Structure 1
């Protein structure tokens, strides 16, 4: 289970880097959607700062999604490492990982759709995802509190 959580953490972190690298493309999609013009036709509007408040808001939403995805990917890597070297808390650690994954998909994924595609009707999924992420952090904390090393310090001496 620990290896699976580690893999998920690395995948989430890696795809967050990819999402961040795609910001310029997403910016073009947002500018096109807000202004109604083709992204190639608006050329200079794709430079910083954002051309208008609506574009700035949607770019901020996209960046928030990327940040939270990265933070939680790194958290899952830490969770996987704790699970790999603990004799207890495996099932609870897996529940924490599932909560973090589901929360990130709902939170960041919804922010990506709202920002890039203008799907504001999905806005109510963002706090649901955030609440599930909070549950994941609570389960993560309990997993840490249950931590019991696989090897005792006396066995190493």
Structure 2
């Protein structure tokens, strides 16, 4: 069992609910349709990986190095991917776009893909 995966799974899951409600109710009037869709993409990916982290947290023994890598890549990827989207959308809506966040989103996506590939590798070995 991985306590780190369970903790981050719970944090990401609860924040996804909060951010989803925030986007649906408060930001709906402030964001364009494209901005709202981007924000929702961040929320969806955050929730998907919260669920994955909870499942892995209950099923993986972190004493195996690959298991720790899988969990860490999902955590890092979710933070970089989803939270950079939130920053880009919210800063853009306030006409102060944080352009440095632009390259962080695909880097987060690469971490998420790496986590899935590591998980596949674990199943194949």
**Alignment TM class, shorter chain as reference:** 0.7 to 0.9
Aligned residue pairs: how many? 119
Structure 1 window deviating more from structure 2 (55-64 vs 137-146): it is 137-146
Q: What 5-or-longer segments of structure 2 have no aligned partner?
A: none
Is 1:65 paired with 2:74? no
| Post-superposition offset of 1:68 | 0.2
Counterparts of 1:29 and 1:140, CA distance in 2:
39
Q: Deviations over 1:7-56 (max 9, x none)?
A: 211211111111111112233443xxxxxxxxxxxxxxxxxxxxxxxx01
**Gaps spanning 5+ residues in structure 1: where?**
31-54, 147-157
Q: Structure 1 residue 93 and structure 2 residue 72: aligned?
A: no
1:45 matched residue in structure 2: none
Whichever of the two has the greater Rg, that structure is 1
Provide TM-score, normalisation by structure 2.
Answer: 0.83
Selected match of 2:57 from 56, 80, 85: 80
How far apart are residue 114 of structure 1 and its match?
A: 1.3
Question: How many Å separate the matches in 1 of 2:119 and 2:6?
Answer: 14
Q: TM-score, normalised by structure 1?
A: 0.68
Query: CA 1:99 to 1:5, structure 2 compared with 1: closer, same or farther past 3 Å?
Result: same
Which consecutive segments of 4 or more residues in structure 1 shift more than 4 A? none
Counterpart of 1:136 in structure 2 is 115
Q: Which residue of 2 aligns with 1:41?
A: none
Q: Over aligned residue pairs, what C-alpha RMSD do you find?
A: 2.0
